[in-house]
A and B are shown apart, each in its own frame.
Chain A
Amino acid sequence: MPSLVRSKLGLLAMLVVGLALVAPAGALAAYGGFQPQHAHSPNVEHINVAYWVIFGFTTVIFLVVMATLVTFIVKYRSRGRARTVEGVQVHGNTQLELIWTVAPVIILALIGTMIFFLLPKITPPAKAAGTLEITVEGHQFYWQFNYPNGARTINTLYVPVDRDVRFKVISGDVVHSFWVPQLQGKIQAIPGRINHTGFRADKVGTYQGYCGLICGPFHAKMLLTVKVTDDASYASTLAANSTRKVLGRTEFQGVCATCHGMQGQGGYGPALANNSILAQKSALEAIVRNGRGLMPPVGNTWTDEQINALAQYTKTHVYKGASTSGG
């Protein structure tokens, strides 16, 4: 728009406003402000590329629009002119309007093309011969992970580093959303439906995951941890963390304790430390599998081994405060 830049005042105002807006934005970006999640998988890495490209385009558009607006506001303010004084009576300009219709089309086409270009690198790994496939179950209010060798873990997901892992995402009750920000985007866990996602973690470490979708009172507590181990020790780490003893403990602490308290002292749900059901496997199984009243059927997908592990843990560690150390 030559009419805008013609005046030195306009140019100056644009520069000042532009700098004023860019400086704090840059500072914030450096301190975790506008910066997306630090990527630890190719999926998220390329989503971040898409994010920064869109950020570039939108920031430029925002600055241009705001600079123009502020310039006009400053330059064409009334300066004491009466309300009866009219501005220039222009009704439009077809050429100009065509430009600002076509320019966004081009920018959006570029963004869209970029997305399709990046998509193959963002899409979760496809099923191949060596792919590890783990089932992710969303439940009120915990995550369960079923491994191909039959092992099961609660709220902690073990995966090997630098290997394609595919997830079959299902739900045992309401809709949840499985999300590990640094490793993979959200996918809903929907009852009656199977969704797929996956990632290849590039670094050994621990990553935080969340449930993205409101699923009941403890939506906020439906957290998960992803432990990425090196490929060699993956099998042994998983085995060590899915023994009956550990399984029973994580089941109680990750599933029951959300409502009943870490020592079964009660909370949102009733106290159960002195309830003899804890020591009777069949009664415990009935409640855990079918729910009761407000209690969801938390264990509706559990194996007998899982029930045994829980029964053993509650009997020895929770019932009558048998032990509070948590094994």
Chain B
Amino acid sequence: MAVRSEAVYPVSWRNGRVAKWLVTVDHKKIGIMYIATSLLFFVGGGVMALLMRAQLATPNEKFLTENSYNQVLTFHGTSMIFLVLVPIMAGFGNFLVPLMIGARDMAFPRLNAFSYWMFLLGGIVLYMSWFSAGGAAHAGWWSYPPLSENLPFTSPGNGQDYWILSLHLLSISSLVGAINFVVTIHNMRARGMTWMRMPLFVWAMEAYSILLIVALPAISAGVTMLLLDRHGLTHFFLPSQGGSVVLYQHVFWFFGHPEVYIMVIPVFGMISEIIPVFARKPIFGYKAVAFSTLGIAFYSLLVWAHHMFTTGLGTGLDSFFMISSMVIAVPTGVKIFNWVATTWRANIQFDSPMLFALGFLALFTMGGLSGIFLAAFPVDWQVNDTYYVVAHFHYVLFGGSVFGLFGGLHYWWPKMFGRMLDERLAKVTFWLMFVGFNATFLPQHMLGLLGMVRRIYTYNHGGLWETYNLISTIGSGIMALSILVFFINVLRTQFLRHGIRSGNDPWLADTLEWYTASPPPDHNFDTVPYVTSARPLRDLRRRLAEAEA
């Protein structure tokens, strides 16, 4: 006898259109919420970048006041790092890691939801800084004391306190998430998936998580000391009472440099997934790419004081950190050469994810090479704290991370939502972003060499300073346009439903996430095939072809 299921099992409020997202412990929904929230903060941080570029477009501009400029630069940096690049990696990791290793969910689904909500809360607390007494935090994303201390002429009020509390919440979020990733990757891989058959993105998430676990306690301790200082309980960083300013610099950068790699290693993983699929080849040197990720992660813990060459640490320490910083260039180089070699004798498909990946290769190489100037400490004495450094790290974090992330978004979009983003608009996004990016940041190398220091709200030089600054501002506008085109594409594909249905595996990819439906059902897989190589789906396609023949 047929039973009407609705009658027996009434639909719970938990299945409501909005409620199902709010109460979810599903890694896919959490991953998508992470990515969506990060993109929202990305727009926020981007608007602040445009404000700064508007202020710097011409000499003696009066668009922003000196104080609001410092607030905006602090929030641009803090947002992009703590609210965009770190959590968006967790978003991709959440969505992809269980699917890639053939698992049902993350190891600790509730903890996973907790880590997302802590991230959102951290973001909200950070932005509450704008409404606090004394105005928003304005000491830069490093927040070096004494500028960040609660002295009447530095950072009085509560803006800096919100900044500190936000970092505490975000640290808890990332730490919990990282532990979850490590446990999941170590314990929940499909049958047959040995370490050497694991997708390279999962390798990257393993390195990302380990780095977070090692580095985050340092910043948590550092900002806790700052918080205690600010409320008159201690004087860790107040030299007038025997504290040490340099101590904060060490603690901050012990976290700060691994942080740079935390923001780029998962992108290395995405690139290592995208290039082989669109080259129709296996990755060149799987082991070299996997182990170089671990090598970079390890060495990234030993290079922090290359941010402190102008602190006056002495030739001995400067030399050590120069050498260790140069050593880290070797595994990075290995990766770039292996990616380039993957395109050798390939059948390159120029879909948008591949365009972003190739753009990443060019721009990240540039960012890596300009880093060698900064590692050589006497040269760093000249270019440190100038726009040369600004250009360098934007080539790494935008040219590298953001280009890779947009490649990842276009590549995994059909898996996340079941529809293909419009390819034409995606290509427009890429070319606008590529041209806009280079127009913005290439001239900043020259500005740095001309002597333009970072974090100045104005300048009075004409000539080349003015020309390069104006080009840079125009470039930032072109980049903003590219982001706009991306959101139009999303709107068109997802909300106006113009995107075509993608099917399980539109790219004929190699890894397990493409084995299940798009979007995947709640339980991910009906069955998981036994994994016989690093490319289980290609193995399946071949077996099918053989069976047909």
Contact = CB atoms under 8 A, between A and B. Distances in A.
Interface of A: 3, 28, 31-37, 44, 46-47, 50-51, 54-55, 57-58, 61-62, 65-66, 68-69, 72-73, 76-78, 81, 83-93, 96-97, 100-101, 104-105, 108, 111-112, 115-116, 118-119, 122-123, 140, 169, 173-175, 177, 179, 181, 184-188, 190-193, 195-196, 208, 210-220, 268, 291, 293-297
Interface stretch (B80-88, B109-117, B236-244, B513-521): B236-244
Contact of B379 (A33, A54, A195): A54
A69 B67 CA distance: 45
B446 A185 contact: no
Contact of B347 (A85, A93, A181, A295): A85
B280 A220 contact: no
A151 B370 CA distance: 43
A62 B336 CA distance: 11
B66 A217 contact: yes
Nearest to B282: A91
Question: What 7 A-B pairs are tightest by C-beta distance, nearest first?
Answer: A185-B381, A192-B239, A220-B456, A87-B346, A296-B153, A195-B312, A92-B285
B365 A216 contact: no
A37 B382 contact: yes
Contacts of B280: 83, 85-87
Contact of B311 (A33, A68, A81, A188): A188
A174 B146 contact: yes
Contact of A105 (B330, B361, B454): B330
A217 B455 CA distance: 10
A210 B379 contact: no
A175 B308 CA distance: 13
Contact of B70 (A83, A86, A185, A214): A214
Interface in B358-409: 358, 361-362, 365-366, 369-370, 372-373, 376-382, 384-386
Interface stretch (B94-102, B187-195, B337-345): B337-345
A88 B286 CA distance: 15
A31 to B, nearest CB: 8
24 contacts: A32-B449, A37-B451, A50-B376, A54-B376, A69-B358, A87-B280, A87-B347, A89-B281, A108-B327, A108-B372, A111-B372, A111-B376, A115-B322, A115-B377, A122-B378, A169-B312, A187-B381, A192-B245, A193-B244, A219-B457, A220-B456, A294-B153, A294-B156, A295-B153
B66 A218 contact: yes
A108 B288 contact: no
A73 B358 contact: yes
A193 B361 contact: no
B323 interface: yes
Contact of A68 (B340, B372, B380): B340
Contact of A72 (B246, B287, B344, B369): B344
Contacts of B451: 37, 181, 208, 210
Contacts of B48: none
B447 to A, nearest CB: 10
B12 interface: no
Contacts, number: 266
Interface string B348-366: 1110000000100110011
Given A105-B330, A179-B453, A217-B67, A116 B319 contact: yes
A100 B327 CA distance: 14
Nearest to B276: A87
A104 B329 contact: yes
Given A51-B379, A65-B365, A111 B326 contact: yes
Nearest to B361: A69
Contacts of B240: 191-192
Nearest to A86: B280
Nearest to A31: B464
A185 to B, nearest CB: 2
Contact of B281 (A73, A87, A177): A87
A215 B284 CA distance: 48
A140 B153 contact: yes
Contacts of B372: 54, 57-58, 108, 111
Nearest to B374: A54
B415 interface: no
A206 to B, nearest CB: 14
Nearest to B386: A212
Contact of A108 (B156, B330, B350): B330
Interface string B278-304: 011110111110000000000000000
A47 B446 contact: no
Which residue among A62, A81, A173, A219 has the maximum number of chain B CB atoms within 10 Å of its CB?
Answer: A219
Contact of A69 (B287, B311, B340, B369): B340
A297 B429 CA distance: 51
B140 interface: yes
A35 B384 contact: no
Contacts of B312: 169, 187-188, 190, 193, 195-196
A3 B240 CA distance: 66
B281 A175 contact: no
B28 interface: no
Given A86-B280, A220-B456, A112 B67 contact: no
B284 A92 contact: yes
A181 to B, nearest CB: 5
Contact of A47 (B350, B361, B382): B382
